[in-house]
Amino acid sequence: MRTRIALLVSVLALAACDEPAPDPDPPPTLEERAQTFEDPEVARIWTRMMETIAPDDGWERARYLEFHWAVARDDEPLIREHSWDRWEGQARVDAPTDDGRMVAIFPTDNPEEGRVWLAGEELSGEAATERLNSAHRAHVNDAYWLLMPYKWTDPGVEARYAGYETDDEGMEWEVVELTFDAGTGLTPQNMYRAFINPDTGRMERWHFLSNPDADPSPADWADWRQVGPIQLPENRMVGGEPRIFFPHLRVETEVPEGAFDPPGS
């Protein structure tokens, strides 16, 4: 995510305005990011995974993501539509509510500064704040269901190698446990166990634990495919059936025109 920096303009700066601006610092290399892991086994697994699912710095080039998060229900799926500019930290959430369709557009580092519409009418005051915070929580939750393998190097994430584990069907996995520093994200008490397929190098299963002592909730991350510069899995399988799925996926290196326009523009 790129941060806008306010520049204090001085006489000296004005005198030098015709000089070319210095090149921005290049993003860290795969090897440099791997060095953030204290556990060399985690670094080994993560490096191979990134080389598989995001070759040629695919994740660094994936600026814009568009995805529909859907959860299976008996009648019809609940679907939330997302747009996200990772570099500028801008998000859009379009979702059904009991009060009509909600559209929220907000900066991810301060969602209360955004704008939100409900059933076509823009909200203000406490009503807007409540809906914006709700949209931000949906953005964080749904993006993690889509992108967790890409987020091991996020600030505050602690990854520990847990060795090999064989499941009931005789499949052998390498397991990495991920926890979070206090104050990291919305639910720092959560824990994840990532199951890496040694044959493919991809994370193809996780166990979610609401806290380290809780019973795990397993889901298979299935049907990986190429989407722009990275690979993503379309389905999260529970008991052999899709529980959470992504019927629309789009990843671009630039932000499409109009992606964050207000509704009705």
Strands (E), the chain: 64-71, 78-85, 90-97, 100-107, 115-118, 121-122, 157-166, 172-180, 191-196, 203-209, 217-227, 230-238, 241-252
Task: Return the number of other C-beta atoms located less than 10 Å from residue 55's C-beta.
Answer: 13
Q: Are 255 and 86 in contact (CB under 8 A)?
A: no
* Dihedral angle sign, alpha carbons of residues 150, 156, 157, 159: positive
Q: Are 174 and 198 in contact (CB under 8 A)?
A: yes
d(CA 246, CA 213): 30
> What tokens does 177 get?
């446990």
Q: What is the pLDDT of residues 197-231, one digit of tens each?
A: 999 999 999 999 988 889 999 999 999 999 999 99
Cα R_g (the chain), whole angstroms: 20
pLDDT at 21: 41
Question: For residue 146, is pLDDT > 70?
Answer: yes
Question: For residue 33, is pLDDT > 70?
Answer: yes
What number does CATH give the domain 39-252?
A: 2.50.20
Q: Which residues lie below 8 Å from residue 85, measured CB to CB, with a gap of 6+? A: 63, 64, 91, 255, 259, 260
> What value does the mean pLDDT take over residues 134-138?
97
Least confident span in 79-93, 144-158, 174-188: 174-188
pLDDT at 8: 27
Confidence of residue 183 (pLDDT cuts 50, 70, 90): low
pLDDT at 93: 98
Segments making up each domain of the chain, as ranges: 39-252
pLDDT at 247: 97
Confidence of residue 31 (pLDDT cuts 50, 70, 90): confident
